Amino acid sequence: MAETEAVMGSSQEWWRWPAGSWQNRAALLLAVAVCLVAPVLIGGARGQNLLIRAALLAILATSLNLAFGLGGRLSLAHAALYGAGSYAAILTTKHLVANPVVAITMAVVVGAVVAYAIGLVTMGLEGISFAIVSYAIGATLVLVASRLDITGGVTGISIEGDLGSVPVGSTTLDLSTRSAKLALVLLALVGSLWCYQRIRTSRFGLALEAQRDDPILAASLDIDVMSLRARVMAVSGALAGLAGALSAYYIRHVSAELFGAGLAIETLVIVVLGGAGYLLGPVLGAALIAVGLELAPFSPGVRRAATGIVLIVLVLFFRHGTAGFLAHQLRARTARRSTDRIVADQPGGSRP
């Protein structure tokens, strides 16, 4: 028993709790509590801004983690989806209704629809062909957005409106303060992670992983590989749209240049740095990148170059990212302990 566990990896590994288990619920409750307490504990503007930026990147990276980590779809269009969410939120606020709930819902829907369309067009492509075509689509969307009137062209658009206040019972909750925004963004991050975890443990998620590892075998098991690929893009696009909408409310300005290849690559660096396919990988990656860039006194050019070097080093030496590295260490330790136990259990046996 112990031997099998040592070889196969324990089923009780913390990152593989089944959906609906008490550990999962406890973790979720704890995470929500942390989100609500964090804005109180971290009072400074610098810390809060840093945390908001990191959390926004983590949501976007979680969205990419769904498509890339779980589905094996190396998408370079996610920055454009994030942009679509941003534009949707701002344009809704400006031209339809100044209601944040409507605007954010709109952004999620727009992100999902655009992503689903991309997914449908590219579902026959695999691996790097998909990456190339998704890059072409994302980059073109950004170029078009920078030339249209409705998106404000190169200058982009700004909004004066804010999240406003929401009536809760007899009091009103003011959402326009930085602390409220921080709590909201953190809650959205927890929600995204919860989505990711639910999907991974569902039939959909298992089929996705099967499709990622061997599309031909998956198809022979009656998995509809094509529609799966389009659907994972849609779900992932919804999360990217959510992140985009929240960022629009945070910086109150959108312009096309924000959503170009720079953001696409940065998101990918975060996913790979944290560990693609790990629940908390995007969070680790976003935290490391955001804190690293904040602390490093570099010029923007040097920062960009350094981020690129990080990606190259990861690809060459740490293909599974931080979470993969930690999981490996943990597994190795569990295995060693099990071996110790087996040796000790044998008559007259003790570790030499």
**CB closer to other proteins out of 18 and 262:** 262
The least CB distance from residue 200 to other proteins, in Å, is: 20
In angstroms, the CA 43 to CA 250 distance is 17
Is 43 near other proteins (CB under 8 A)? no
Of 304, 331, 334, 335, the residue at the interface with other proteins (CB under 8 A) is: 304
Is 135 near other proteins (CB under 8 A)? yes
Is 89 near other proteins (CB under 8 A)? no
In angstroms, the CA 93 to CA 107 distance is 11
Backbone φ and ψ of 279, nearest 5°: -50, -50
Cα-to-chain-centroid distance, residue 159: 26
Of 52, 67, 70, 139, the residue at the interface with other proteins (CB under 8 A) is: 139
**CB closer to other proteins out of 22 and 317:** 317
**CB closer to other proteins out of 137 and 159:** 137
Total number of residues that touch other proteins (CB under 8 A): 49
Is 155 near other proteins (CB under 8 A)? no
Of 97, 136, 173, 291, the residue at the interface with other proteins (CB under 8 A) is: 136
**CB closer to other proteins out of 51 and 264:** 264
In angstroms, the CA 8 to CA 6 distance is 6
The least CB distance from residue 128 to other proteins, in Å, is: 5
**CB closer to other proteins out of 178 and 304:** 304
The least CB distance from residue 144 to other proteins, in Å, is: 5
215 in Cβ contact with 232 (< 8 Å): no
Of 33, 143, 166, 343, the residue at the interface with other proteins (CB under 8 A) is: 143
Q: Are strands 253-254 and 157-158 parallel, antiparallel or unpaired?
A: antiparallel
- Looking at residue 18, the DSSP 8-state letter turns out to be P
What are the Cα distances from residue 115, in Å, to 107, 180, 305?
12, 29, 30
Is 148 near other proteins (CB under 8 A)? yes
Element of type H or E holding 254: strand 253-254
Is 305 near other proteins (CB under 8 A)? yes
Within 13 A of 254's CA, how many CA atoms are on the CB side?
Answer: 30
**CB closer to other proteins out of 28 and 265:** 265
Write the CB contacts of 180 (distance below 8 Å, at least 6 apart in sequence): 39, 163, 173, 174
Quote the crossing angle between the two packed helices 225-251 and 203-213, to the nearest 10°: 110
**Considering only 21-29, 54-62, 116-124, 192-200, which stretch makes contact with other proteins by CB under 8 A?**
116-124
Is 307 near other proteins (CB under 8 A)? yes
**Considering only 46-54, 86-94, 126-134, 165-173, which stretch makes contact with other proteins by CB under 8 A?**
126-134
In angstroms, the CA 85 to CA 66 distance is 17
152: which 2 tokens?
């404000």
Of 34, 37, 96, 144, the residue at the interface with other proteins (CB under 8 A) is: 144
Is 219 near other proteins (CB under 8 A)? no
Element of type H or E holding 114: helix 100-122
211 in Cβ contact with 72 (< 8 Å): yes
- CB neighbours of residue 296 within 10 Å: 10
**CB closer to other proteins out of 32 and 113:** 113
- Which residues of the chain form contacts with other proteins (CB under 8 A)? 74, 121-129, 131-133, 135-137, 139-140, 143-144, 147-149, 226, 260-262, 265, 268-269, 272, 299-312, 314-316, 319
